[in-house]
Structure 1
Amino acid sequence: MDEYAADTYGERFAASYDEIFADFTPRPAQIELLRRLAGPHAAVELGVGTGRVAIPLARSGVPVVGVDTSAAMLDQLARKAAGLPVQPVLGDATAPELAPELKAGVAYTVFNTFFMLPGRAAQAACLKNVRALLQPGGAFVVEVFVPRPELIAPVRIKSFTATEVVLQVSQHVAGEQRMDSQDVVLRHGAPVQLMPTQVHYLTPHQLDLLAEESGLALESRHADWDGAEFTPDSAKHVSVYRRLP
């Protein structure tokens, strides 16, 4: 997708992210799992956005370092998290200098954010960074969809009201395991909004291999944050990896 950069998603979505994804609130089990894995240490969220997960996690008593490539997203986070132990960091999860002094109990990335990294090399670099950020035995939690390219619809309706329609237009590049999408927001009396997303997906097995090469071993995998069994029919997975010695 031409002119798509690391911060494009955040810069385009920041102003309306909370409105568009109002239904995506973290479940209590999600916050409890992250709190337990953090232990007495800080947590790091990669692709923190406006703080949908970081803020309730901070309210539970866990200091959170929120990393994002989008200054616009971090502006929203700083406003919403005022008074809470949340530290916004403008940075790239693939950059080797990312918070070298930090030793977190848990790092995590949710809602398919890991797949938004620009390709396999960037994903490997992120995993190596994660290992460096973690305490010995620390955990990395990933929430991503299970790719089923045969189910991708070129156009689908995401929401529909009397005054607004949100469409998603997608193109699948099978040879690169990549999907390019545009959320098209048609709102009565307002200009058309285009919100692009590019994902580089991996199968669970591919992700496990990449993590192992980066010094992280799979500890558990479930179909959701509540701990449902992961099966071949699961639409997504929540996987916990541990830092190897």
Structure 2
Amino acid sequence: MSNQFYSDARLYDRLFPGGEQAVEFYRAEADRQGGTVLELGSGTGHKLIPIASDGHPCVGLELSTDMLAEARRKADDRGVDVEWLQGDMREFDLGRTFDLVFIAANSLLHLHEADEVVGCFQSVRRHLAPGARLVLDVFNPSVRVLARADGVRRRRDALSFVDPDRGPVRVDVAETYDATAQVTRGTWFFSTESEADFFVAPLEIRSIFPQELPLLLSLGGLRVVERFGDWSRAPFAAEAALQLVICEPD
């Protein structure tokens, strides 16, 4: 788990402010399923708060206390009722079931070992009500991109943002890829013109390949019933940037 990377929740939200297509996708899934919703790795509530505002009873499970505090603040500001719980998606027992469980925005990829991923899916399986579904999204690994992870620090212009206190912030990333572990190990550097590297944090993200994901789900007692390559529900294809899967108990 990359806890340090998530220690400044407001900085995280400024780094990743978008994702509205993903929000609308998960809102639609919640409407389609009806009933109660559980998000694992709920972060600052970017997706769960809009779902709760639609009238669905929602629970967010998040490991980072900093992210949870920001989620609570945002939900309170909007007058939205969400139950926020501190916990680990690798194994959990909430003593109840849900009509929809979802794991968004590559959150599953913080689990580096296969048995951790399977343990997560087994926990999900135990929390699914009759007719319930698990929905998740992870990136589709590109061998070409992984091969370019050579440890050199490079500017990520697309990730630059403006902080209301610091002004323009630039982001540099240095990454290497551990092919044996299927983990990209990176260091992220945040700087302004007057303050170089004011925030530096490691981030390690696993890759899960398209043939591997259904097997891991099956070991957790789940099966894929739909798989898409983007938020418009286009069929999954080799060149897709996204693996978006909808699952049911096996």
TM-score calculated relative to the size of structure 2? 0.87
**Offset of 1:124 from its aligned partner?**
0.8
Give the one of 176, 181, 186 matched to 2:186.
181
Match of residue 133 from structure 2: 139
Find the residue that maps to 1:226 and give its secondary structure. Answer: coil
Q: Is the 8 A contact 1:62 1:85 kept in 2?
A: no
Matched with 1:84 is: 80
AA at the equivalent of 1:208: P
**1:203 aligned to which of 177, 202, 209:** 209
On the 8 A contact 1:136/1:243 being kept in 2, the answer is no
Give the secondary structure class of the aligned counterpart of 1:23: coil
Are 2:159 and 1:159 aligned?
Answer: yes
**2:5 pairs with 1:9:** yes
Structure 1 residue 92 displacement after superposition: 0.4
Structure 1: any 5+ residue segments left out of the alignment? none
Residues 163 and 80 of structure 1: is their aligned pair in 2 closer, same or farther, counting only changes over 3 Å?
Answer: closer
Name the CA distance, whole Å, in 2 between partners of 1:122 and 1:19.
Answer: 30
How do residues 105-144 of structure 1 correspond to structure 2 at under 5 angstroms? Answer: 105-144=99-138
Q: Retained in 2: the 8 A contact 1:117–1:123?
A: yes
> Residues 64 and 74 (structure 1 numbering): CA distance in 2 closer, same or farther, change over 3 Å?
same
Q: Distance between the aligned counterparts of 1:120 and 1:156, measured in 2?
A: 32
Provide the residue aligned with 1:94 in structure 2: 90
Name the structure 1 match of 2:200. 194
Point out where structure 2 has 5 or more consecutive residues left out of the alignment.
162-166
Moved over 4 A (4+): none
Task: Pick from 13, 19, 36 the counterpart of residue 18 of structure 1.
Answer: 13
C-alpha RMSD of the superposition: 1.9
Identity %: 25
Q: Distance in 1 between matches of 2:46 and 2:160?
A: 23
Residue 8 of structure 1 deviates from its aligned partner by 3.2
Aligned to 1:243: 249
1:144 positional shift: 0.5
TM-score by length of 1: 0.89
